Structure 1
Amino acid sequence: MIDTVIWLIGFRYHVAPDRIIRCFYLVDNARDQQEARRIAAERAETPAERGRRKHLILDQAWTEIRCLHCDSLGRWKFELAEDSR
């Protein structure tokens, strides 16, 4: 039985000098967290997504990566990935 991994990738956007928002993307077709981040970043930069955010600029220096992991017994864990920054 194969374990299931779903990545939750968060990006930060500056709305005002003292205010930020975060948007999260679920990625279920990535081999690892680097690929999950790349897929989520591509989604975040689509014209439709940029329009929803009113063209706010993605803060490339900040990413939150979390992993939803289901083991072979069906138990789910929600973990912070090591590469979050």
Structure 2
Amino acid sequence: MNNHTMWLIGFRFWSEAGAYTKHFYLVRGVTGEVEAQRAAARRAGAAPERTRRKGAELDAGWIQAQEVMRDGIGRCRLSDLPPHQTTRAPLDRKITSERARQHAPAA
């Protein structure tokens, strides 16, 4: 039996104009969520990806991770998301507290 799984890992990035965009990475051949997050973070940090984002900064407080699962006849579905899922990004980069305050939802 193969214990390797596929994961869909999403990161959120902030543009200089204050808008955010989410980028998702399909990660295969890993044994768990943490390994999938690290693999996706390496992809997100690669030069071609940074160029495509045009300087958008990583929101280090937001990651979405969902396992890609197959049923008995091969149909794919994503695992459920826990309510209000947020996880610290596995990248070493962090946005500044001032930048975080700028993008925090209004109370």
| TM-score, scaled relative to structure 2 | 0.66
SS at match of 2:29: coil
Larger Rg, first or second structure (1 or 2): 2
Q: Percent identity?
A: 36
Q: Which residue of 2 aligns with 1:29?
A: 29
- Structure having the higher strand fraction is 1
Number of residues paired by the alignment?
Answer: 83
In structure 1, stretches of 5+ residues that fail to align are none
Query: Is 1:63 aligned to 2:63, yes or no?
Result: yes
Query: Is 1:79 aligned to 2:79, yes or no?
Result: yes
| TM-score, scaled relative to structure 1 | 0.81
Asked if structure 2 preserves the Cα contact closer than 8 Å seen for 1:3 and 1:71, the reply is no
Question: Could you give the per-residue CA deviations for residues 19-70 of structure 1, whole angstroms, max 9, x where no partner exists?
Answer: 2110000001211000000000010001110001112111111100011112
In structure 2, stretches of 5+ residues that fail to align are 87-107
| Runs of 4+ deviating beyond 2 Å | 1-5, 71-77
Alignment RMSD:
2.1
